[in-house]
Amino acid sequence: MSSLVHRARKKARRVVDRMSGMPPGAVPLRPFAPQVPGPPGAKRCAVCRWQGTSFEGVLHCESATCPQCGAIGRDRWLFHCLTTYVTGIGKQTRLMETSPRMGDAYKDAMAARVDYLASDYDQRAHKADIAIDLQKIDLPDASLDVVMTSHVLEHVPDTDAALSEILRVLKPGGSLVLLVPVLQGATAPPVEPEFHGDDTPVFWRFGLDLTDTLRAHGFETKLLCTEDFRRHVLAGSTSWTEGISPEWDVASIVAAAAERPDDLTVVCDDALAETLGLVPSYMYLAWHARKPA
């Protein structure tokens, strides 16, 4: 990861740390509010509804930080995908989020809207309600309506065990909203030992074949993307206006997506992606995986 992005990520964590100490309701977090494009040039946070002229940091899913609540690009993408594909969310919705990056004000806002449960493996880097190993989830069968997991599955040694467990604890018709760093076309372990910013080891560098893995476990699966990403795939383009971050093997990602373009489900047009800061588009892919009813 570039030093510029690393510094931006550390700054985002400091903003979240400040927000964690604020009293409940001090920041008007409304992550379930509908997302619509803003005026030309305006930026808006999908989590706290801040609006301004620019996000802080660089154009990167680990940066482009909201100056009010500390949400970064992938936080806004997560909630856009959640509200696009999970319907009927209400106070009775039992929602578990794994290793939530945001602080206490965010968790309070979530708990005000849904029956919210935050989990983490060892609570070393993320404070949570319960400690859970995704490979062996200590929850009853069919006990959750929604599982949200962002940039966690790559740190789990046994992907198959984790997906089987998530399927087990979801109710029929329940949803998994899954984000991982999609850095290459096909899934493989790191060539060299790899750690993310909190010194957590990376076991897998995921590719677009994660769609097949989810379907093999019984999930009804959609690969979610922006309008801009699908346009690049259909054109066979591997050049982005914003440039290519060295962590991403964009050529192999575009080639893998081009083999099955029908798997791509556009959930964000160009205007809304610009408003929410979801650029460059190759950084913003997600899966909505539904347990059959």
Q: What pLDDT score does 29 carry?
A: 52
Amino acid symbol at 243: G
Distance CA 70, CA 87 (A): 26
Q: How many Å apart are CA 231 and CA 224, to the nearest integer?
A: 13
Q: How confident is the model at residue 179 (pLDDT cuts 50, 70, 90)?
A: very high
Question: Which of 11-15, 44-48, 230-234, 257-261 is the least confident region?
Answer: 11-15
How does pLDDT run across 34-81, given as a tens digit for each residue?
667 777 889 999 888 888 999 999 999 999 999 988 999 999 999 899
Encode pLDDT of 240-269 as tens digits: 999 999 999 999 999 999 999 999 999 999
Domains and CATH numbers, the chain: 73-290 (3.40.50.150)
Q: How far apart are alpha carbons 236 and 254 in whole angstroms? A: 7
Pairing of β 43-44 and β 51-52: antiparallel
Express the helix, strand and coil content of the chain in percent, nearest 5 each: 30, 20, 45
29-38, 144-153, 262-271: least confidently modelled range: 29-38
Q: Phi first, then psi: give them for residue 205, nearest 5 degrees.
A: -105, 105
Contact 128, 119 (CB under 8 A): yes
pLDDT above 90 covers what percent of the chain? 70
- How high is the pLDDT of residue 20? 40
Give the CA distances from residue 37 to residues 23, 222, 267, 274, 292, in Å, rounded to whole numbers and listed in that order: 30, 23, 13, 8, 32
pTM of the model: 0.88
